[in-house]
Structure 1
Amino acid sequence: MPRGERPLGPEDTALLRFAGDLRRLRDQAGKPSYRELARRANYSPTALSDAAGGRKLPSLALTLAFVRACEADPAPWTKRWRELAAEHAQPLHPNSPYPGIEPFTENDAKHYFGREFLVEQIVESVRVRPLTVVFGASGSGRTSLLPALDDAVVVTPGENPVEDLAAALAGLFATTTADVLAEEIRQDPDHLRLRLRQHRPGLVLLVDDAEKAFGADDFTAAVTRCPHVVLAVRADHRQRWHELGAGGDAAEITVEPMSADQLRRAITEPAAGIGATVETAVVARLVADAANQHSLPLVQQALAETWRRKRGMTLSLAGFEESGGAEHAVARAAETFFAGLGEQDRAAARQVFLRLVSVRRDGIARRRAPRPLDVDADLLDRLAKARLVTLTEDGAELTHDASLRWPRLAAWIDEEGENLRTHQQLVTAVELWEASDRDPLALYRGVRLRKAKELGEFLTVQERRFVDISARRETRRSTALIAVVAVLIALVPGTVVYALSNERKITELAGRELGGKAISASEALMEQRRPYADKYALVGYRVSPSPEAEKVLRLANAVTRGIPFTGTPKDDADVVVAPRGDMAAVTDADGTDRMWSLDEDEAVPGKRFADRHRVVELAERRAVTKDHTGQEHLWAVSDAGDITHLSALPDRFRTLDLSPDGSRIVGKVGGAGDAGLPTPDETEHAELYDLSDPRFPRRLPMPVRNPETVALSHDGRELATGTWDSDAGTTKIEFWHIGGTYEPASPALSQNVYVRSITYSGDGRWLAVEHSPESIVEVWQRVPSGTPVLRARLETTLRSGARVTFASEDRVAVVRDNVFEVQRLYASDRSPDRLVYVVGHGNSTRAVHRAQHDDFLVRSGGRDPELLPYELDAGAIIKRMCEKDGARLTDSEWVKSFGEVERVEVC
């Protein structure tokens, strides 16, 4: 007979109450034996019995397994476990390598990793310039950079900056006091400079949160005249600093978000320094969550909490999950912050959080890009200090996606979902209105205007002005509109709306005739760029399925969902789409490129590059532009609304390839040859750069001095070079592992033609080689350490250059002039299958595969810069149309097109 449970006794501690509730949960489940629970939970009976024993806190995983075995909801138990774990967690030992949410201090310098190059940049700037200004978003780690200097004094100005300055420095001068020094500075700001030169000429004055003293002229004058000064300024105060005019020839350094490699070092190196390790799964989770974001304090906080729960000297995934990671850190910080507010501030904070959230049409909430907020500056400062909001040069944004899962904010989003969707549409409308030079036709009217008026406190000053102007225009239009409507009503009966047929009353059509009629109608509407082409194509496909009908359905769906660039782009504009299809650079009418954010079926305008800059290459978080002189420049592109000039590339450098992840760039310096067969130029040579620190690209050794064509792999770690031998009439393609040195990555490939371009697939498994001048594309399968194997030869009657893109499921897309085609590849002798061949679409734009939507973005053809989202799966197209209620023709549309023929239900 099994032994009974040990009685718990009085449940006078939180741990005993927790154990008692676990036992009662088991009772409510019918009191299954621990052996039965073990079968359900996949834990041993002893472990489950100990979990309810009350002697120690069980792990979160064990607790949740117990709860699920009792068929209870794990969510409240997760919350309760974390509250109890916070009480039982080990205190943060002084030897912890992670400071948590607080900035690094002088004592933490040995644990500060990932920013070494930036620290060196500041040290070098201090050596050659009297004044260095470090700009960084809140939470970017700019304050933590300051302790890197040896002989330095840190000053943090408060309400009385001069007194704070004097208090920090008085100890350096034996013959004065803080009060006396403060009075001297007020009377003559230059006095401090003279004292430092006399007593401590090498001292560096570090001013943290310098923006707090921008209103104190005597403080600013005294500080900026000192021999060696570093000011740390929050990025949203950059314009104020420039308006002060106190910088002279100050060096300006911007702290960018940590890259994945930098963040990985910041996570692992501090632990390694004291003999501890961080499990790879923890590193991967944190890097995925926080790379390229200003989230370093949250990462440090999550690591500090994981350190409390370490197993020996290992920061394990179990400990990380028990701590709740960044999500729990954000939720706890948000609840603590919110609990400390009064009722009025709570309402204001709620409004701030909601203004920084957008809800897409599919109902998914996401963070907005940084945007200015006309709210109390003190409240924003407190939110930034709590690491809940990040303040950048472009405005405010939620610090991390985990904020969206904070239960209180999630509830607010549910309550205001409709308003948030309406507001998102309004934001887009305002941006389009501004981008079109405030075209009156872009203003709101009717139902959209009424809904916008109801947003109330959601509206910013700019949005409220847009609504007011729309309302005034609506009032002026009302009388004229009534007259126009009357005229239209009179004209409609005699108008052939869709030009589908002159026969209004057809009593009977065979299925094939009806399908053919619907397909013809769809093609006519596509040609005229008129609505409902996809609806008619769906009727034709449902009535008479065929490969031709499926082709029309796919094309009609793409045309109907076409993504226009409204307002500013000129005809025949250049269009460059980012590798993931989430952004595009499009040329405005004045010849300057503008960034656009691409959603599923819409484009939202963002920032423009510098005057007359055109985008040459666009990668993840990086862009290369060429100015009107031919000089190329490197830019940071966080999103369409956040672009920053980083550096000019070397003189006469022209980009040949930028790795899709933005980590490496390769180009040529010297004479530029025309496309086609090469023209020898002795001065021309190739150069390869590492962009880990994009403001200072680091030149890498180039394995081939002057190849005719080059290509970088997706991660920038491999380089393919094609070298033309004119005597032999062959091109030698070589593959190189690149870094501080280079070495062959696989055997070379010889081609008996001149190779115009080389393209890697994202996973490195495939390689496309385009021949010149025939524009034949050969696709080779990469074999580890072996010679590539030819798998496909894609020929064409067109001789224009091919632009090749690889997608998932071994698909390759090729655009030649105005022809767009997709082929499925096979790692065997089987010939590729042609999935798509469309004439009239393509035109100077590479087809970009969007994995999140599983479609291709292709230019619509002609001079219009519009992009078509081309989906290959007819079933997915029909599902989307039916779910969005966009598949069914109205009764009047059906009758106009098909007369009295019985309706066909398409969904």
Structure 2
Amino acid sequence: MVRASAGAYRVYLAEDLQVDIEQAAAGTDRAECALVAGEPATAGQLAAQARAVLGRPLLPGVEAPWLDGKRRELSRLLLRALEILAEARLVSGEYGHAVAAAEEAVTLDPFRESSHRLLIRAHLEAGNGAAGLWAYERCRQLLAEELGVDPAPETQALHAVMLRAGAALEPVAPVPRTSSVTARSAKVCPYRGLQTFEEADAEHFFGRDADVSRLLERLEASKFLAVLGPSGSGKSSLVRAGLIPALRQGALPASDTCAVRVLRPGSEPIKTLARELTRLDPSLDEPATARRLFEDDRALHRTVEAAADAGSPRVVFVVDQLEEVFTLCVDEEQRRAFLDALATAGTAPLGRVMVIATLRADFYPRLADHPRLADLASSHQFLVTPMDEVGLAEAIVGPARKVGLRLEEGLPETILRDVARQPGSLPLLGHCLLELWERRADGTLTVGAYRDAGGVEGALAGRAEAVYLSLSPDEQLVTRRVLLRLTQPGEGSHDTRRRVSFSELPTQPQECETVETVVDRLTEARLVTTGGTLPATAGWRCPTRP
């Protein structure tokens, strides 16, 4: 129930409703008790769950005095959860996880010596004395330069232990020197443009916290989940930069111990799956594994179970852009074998495989030809809907603030109004924000730069037109042909992007150099992407050239 009084609103929750922040605070208390009681596994799980909640921004884009105090309170609570998590991982012998948690705490509050000490201890326990010394030196320099004080006696005692152990200060990594907000914002672009947010971009991925929570809820009840949505809805980014990091942080029981394999089916999905299995277990023979997958729908499940007997963890297979089995794979038998393997692995009782597949919604009816997977997808699916205004505001403001960028007053509101007039404009918004970053002035994103770029609707078209007009007539002709080859015409559905190798683009040997120039220009303008199994642009060579 909501009541208005004294110029504000008060929300009264039903007794059976709980607030996630309050649950996280209570979970942090329980984690500390578990750690004291000698139960590091329980402490780590509780602290990781609390960290996943407390690490989300509180009402980004909203400024109010009461919010400042609440944000400081949550920041202190997050620090406490991170330190408990680091200590629990340290006691459990999970030194890599301990280092990661301690580093996050140090980044959150560089002047908190207890976090620095945890980081030093984690490096020492991992047998990396040099990294421990560098961590101490970073702490000492920061305190001396910013506060004019020496490290606390406890921190100095750790330093003495390292010296007695014979640790040597080696150049394992430079000491970060990123105190200047302006310098940082000048170098770090927090926006991805038209590209998918990857797991490494998680810290810049905002606006989908509620969706990540709902995905986790569904995975608590099923080992299979189909993530559906229209083209450009952000399915891949949601899974790669939202869900996967949450799983790695222990958002589900023991999910931080899972191996995560991300793949796109491509034109030979069975071969792709076999390749991922051999990466999971290098003792496997890839051609033999592919044959087993083709002949037996239980092969995926059984291969992972066999690896589990050898000590491997549970495996999460993220099949991104599942529609490629229809758009790129022309072998019906291979398509059937691949989809049946996913269905069997995702339903095996007590199995160790979890399957998460993203699929364009207009391809969902095509699953009808594969009843087993269709039944699974109909029962266990999540529909990615357009971001609401709050989520869009977070996606605009959150990444900028993360790297210290300032937004001119009125800019977020201007962008949001334009987005509201353009349904399905998330990709256009992404490119527009990238254009804004490239036009930043002294670390500030301005309304003037937004207008100059063409706004949400015109930024992408303007960039593409500018690149096209800068090309010679011959290059323009090749550009049209290249873009056509990068498009897969739809049959009863919208056209889709198509991945190609460079060798497919030239139609005759003398075109190779022109094609390379065109692709370089399109890539530089971020209108096409290269990578994955394709050679890097600088290394592309026409087959007829030396």
TM-score by length of 2: 0.45
TM-score by length of 1: 0.28
Q: Which of the pair has the greater relative contact order for Cα pairs under 8 Å at 6+ separation?
A: 2
Bigger helix share? 2
